[in-house]
A and B are shown apart, each in its own frame.
Chain A
C-alpha cells in the first residue's frame, strides 16, 4: 500500500457497550490530513460511538489508534485534546446559564491571581479566536438566549480554542436552517484551507456531496468502505447505508381540508428582553391538511409552539382546538383534546433518559383504561403497546427495557415520534420531526405524517429544513420577525428562491393575502 498522509488511523476498532451492544465491529477508519471526511450510516450504525472513541470518551474493546503517525491511547478527552482532537457532540454540551465566553474557557479558565476567573480575559480570548476563525459569536450573551446556529459556533470555537487540529462534528447541521448551514459550510471550508482536518457526520446527502472530500459508510457497526465523494452518487450512498433504494420525495394525494381544528388569533408575546417575538399571529389548521411554517430560526416559531402547548404564556390572543381554549391550561387537558407535540428539543421535553423505552412511549397514555387493571398496570397490554411501537417505528434497540439514553441519537428521536404520532391525535404539532433521523427512517416518518393527515388529522409542521416543509406541507406560512409574512395555499409550485426572500424579510404579502390562512 502506498504511504498516504493520514492524520488519523483507527484500525480494527471494536466496541461492546456495558449493556452488551456491539456498536463497532472491526472498523477501519482513516482520515487524510486536511480533508473533510464524512462518516455516514443509519441511526445506530455506530458513528457517534466511533467518534467518541476517537475523542477518548469511550474506551474501545479492541483495535488501535494512530494519530499523526504516533500510536495513542485515548483514555480521556483531555488526552485526545492534547493530541489535537476536538469534538462537537450530537447534543449540545454547553452550560445554558453561563455566557458564551465562560463556556468557551470552561475548564481552562484564565485565572486572575490564581483563584478568581478572569472574565475580561475570557471575553478577550473569545473575541480574538472568533475573529481568527471567522466564527462570529456574542461573548457576553448567555448560552440559553442564543439561537442554535450560534450555539453550534460556540461548540466549534470551544474545540478550536483548546488547540484542536482535527475537528469531529457529530451532526452539526441537524439543528440548523439552510442559511445557517450555508454559513457553517463556508467556515468549515475556510478551516480546511487553514490546514484543519474535519470529520463530519450528517444524514443529509446533499450536504455530504457539497463539502466533503471522502466518505466512510457504516452499517450495523461495520465499515462498508471508504469512497471519494466525487465518485459516488447519492443513490449509491443510501443503498450502501440502508441496503435498499430510498425514495425521499413524499408521495401524497392532494389534501381535502375541511373545518378548522386549530384556530390561532392575534397571538402576541414580548419576551423578557423586550423583544416582540410574536406580533399578531393568526392562522388556522384544517382537518386533513398539513400546514408548514417556514422561517429562519428565531422568528417566533419556537415561542409559537410553546404557547400552543401551554409551555409558555402569551400576552394576548386566543388559540382553540375544535372550539376549546388551549392556552394557559394543563398539558393533560391539551392532550385530552387530541393534541400531540414532537418537541424541538428532544432531550428536554421528549424523553426521560434513564427510564426504559417502554416507560417513555407510554408517558402520555399510561393512565388509560386499556393499560390498567384495577389499581395495577396491565403489564401485558403495556408490553404489547411498546413492542408494537418499537417494531412500527423501527427503533433499533435490544429490548423494550433498554434505557433510552443508551439509544443512538436518531433512535431517541424515533421514540418521541412513535409516541406522539401513535396517540390518534386530532392535531399534530411537529417541530423538526425528522431531526437527526437517517434517510430511511425520514422517509418513513414523513409518510406516516401524510398518512395521519389524510386520515383526518390536522398537522402543524415546523421545520428548519426548507425542503422538508415544502415537500411535506399542503400549504405553508412564512414567519419573519414574529409575524406571518406570507401564505401559500398550494406548495406544489413553490421554489426556494422566492421562499428565501420572504424568509429573510425582503418581501411580504399584503394583509389581505395573509388573512386567507384564517379559516373558520
Chain B
C-alpha cells in the first residue's frame, strides 16, 4: 500500500486542523475587534513579516526570535514526552525549569572556570539538580503510591518559593533596583550563533541534538522501550519482568534533567543575571507541546515552533490592535480540539485506504492469474 499518500494526508490533516483553529480564532476576532483585519494580519503574518510602506518584507530577525523562543520549550516538551510516555503525569517541569535556571546562574556567577567548559559545567549541574529534585515525586509514587500529579504540582510552588527565598536573602545584588543576582560571568554565557541580539544561542543547536538523543532513547534503547510499555500497560510490563518501579523513577528523573537543562540554557543564553520572580511558564508550554507532538520527540521542535509562532503573533496582535493577547488561549484550545480529534477527516482518509487496498487486491489477483497463465 502506498504509505506516501497516507503521510501526505497526515501532514495535510495537521495543516487543516491549524487552519480550522485559526478560522475559529478569526470568528472571535471579528466578533470582538473594531479592526479585525489589522489584528488578523499581525496574528498570522506579524511574526515573520514586517509591514513596510513599500509592502511586505520578510523579517529574518523575527525568525531568529522565534527559534530562540523555542530553546527552553523544546527541552520541556521533551521532558514531558518522556514522563507522559511512562504514563506519569508529572507537572513539575515548570518548577524545575526555574530551579535549573537559578542553579545554572549561580554556577555562572560563583564558579570561576576560565574556559569554554564553564557553561557546560553550569548546565550539567543544573541538569543534575533537576534530576535529583524529580526523585521526590517519583519516589513518593513508587514507594508510597502518592499521585505524582498532585505532588509535582505542589513541588512547583515549593521550588518557586525556595528559589525566591534564596534569591532575596542570599544572592541578591543589593546595588540593583530590582531583585536579581549578581551578573553572570562572561565565561559562563552561552553565545549567540550569529551575534545579532536575537538571543538565538548555541542552545538551539543543543536542543535539536537532544531531540535526536531523546528520540533514540525512547525508540532505540531498552530503557525507552520499557518506559513506553509501562505507559501502555503496567500490568503487562510487570508480568513481562520489567523493572516497573525503577523505570517510573527513571522517566521522571530524565524529565527533571531535561527541564533543568532547559532552564539553565535559557538563563545563561538570554539574561545577564537571574531575575525570574515567578514560574516562567515553559513547563506548561512543554505540556502543550508534548500533547501536540503525541509524545513523539521528533515532532517536538515542530510543535515548539508552532507555539512560539503563535505566541509571537498574539503579542504582535495585542501590540498593534485592540485584541488582547489572551486570544492565544482560545486559539490553542481550538487547535487542541482539532488535533486531538482522531476522527477529523477520517472519512477522507478511509477513502484513500479503500482505494489503495482495492488496487492491492486487484494487483494480487492479476499476479495470481499471470502465474497460472504462465504455468500452462
Contact = CB atoms under 8 A, between A and B. Distances in A.
Interface in A1-42: 16-22, 25
Contacts of B232: 352-355
Interface string B212-235: 000010001110011011001101
Interface in A350-378: 350-355, 359, 363-364, 366-367, 371-372, 375-377
A19 B358 CA distance: 13
A334 interface: yes
Contacts of A379: 220
A349 interface: yes
Contacts of A318: none
A354 B238 CA distance: 17
Contacts of B240: 331, 335, 363-364
A434 B232 CA distance: 25
A275 B124 CA distance: 57
Contacts of A311: 239
Contacts of A353: 232-233
B358 to A, nearest CB: 8
A367 B349 contact: no
Interface in B222-270: 222, 225-226, 228-229, 232-233, 235-243
A355 B242 CA distance: 16
B225 A20 contact: no
A330 interface: yes
Given A20-B360, A376-B221, A309 B353 contact: no
Nearest to B347: A59
Contacts of A359: 225, 228-229
B185 to A, nearest CB: 34
A212 to B, nearest CB: 31
Contacts of A17: 353
Contact of B243 (A16, A332, A351): A332
Contact of A335 (B222, B241, B349, B360): B241
Interface in A213-245: none
Most buried by B among A20, A336, A367, A371: A20
A343 interface: yes
Given A366-B222, A377-B222, A355 B229 contact: yes
B59 interface: no
A16 B357 contact: yes
Contacts of B222: 366-367, 371-372, 377
Interface residues of B, number: 30
B361 interface: yes
B350 interface: yes
Interface string A441-469: 00000000000000000000000000000
B239 A351 contact: no
B65 interface: no
Interface residues of A, number: 38
Interface of B: 1, 216, 220-222, 225-226, 228-229, 232-233, 235-243, 346, 349-350, 353-354, 356-358, 360-361
B216 A363 contact: no
Contacts of B237: 352, 363
Contacts of A309: 239
Nearest to A15: B354
B133 to A, nearest CB: 25
Nearest to A343: B239
Contact of B361 (A22, A332, A351): A22
Given A331-B241, A351-B233, A20 B353 contact: yes
B297 to A, nearest CB: 15
B322 to A, nearest CB: 44
A379 B220 CA distance: 8
Given A332-B242, A352-B236, A363-B242, A61 B354 contact: yes
A53 to B, nearest CB: 14
B353 A352 contact: no
Instruction: Return the 3 tightest CB-CB contacts between A and B, nearest first.
Output: A363-B240, A332-B241, A352-B232
Contacts of B357: 16, 20-22
27 contacts: A16-B353, A16-B354, A16-B357, A20-B360, A22-B357, A25-B361, A61-B350, A330-B241, A330-B243, A331-B238, A331-B239, A331-B241, A332-B241, A332-B243, A334-B241, A335-B241, A336-B241, A348-B235, A348-B236, A350-B239, A352-B229, A363-B236, A363-B242, A364-B241, A366-B226, A376-B216, A377-B221
B241 A352 contact: no
B236 A20 contact: no
A341 interface: yes
B360 A352 contact: no
B354 A352 contact: no
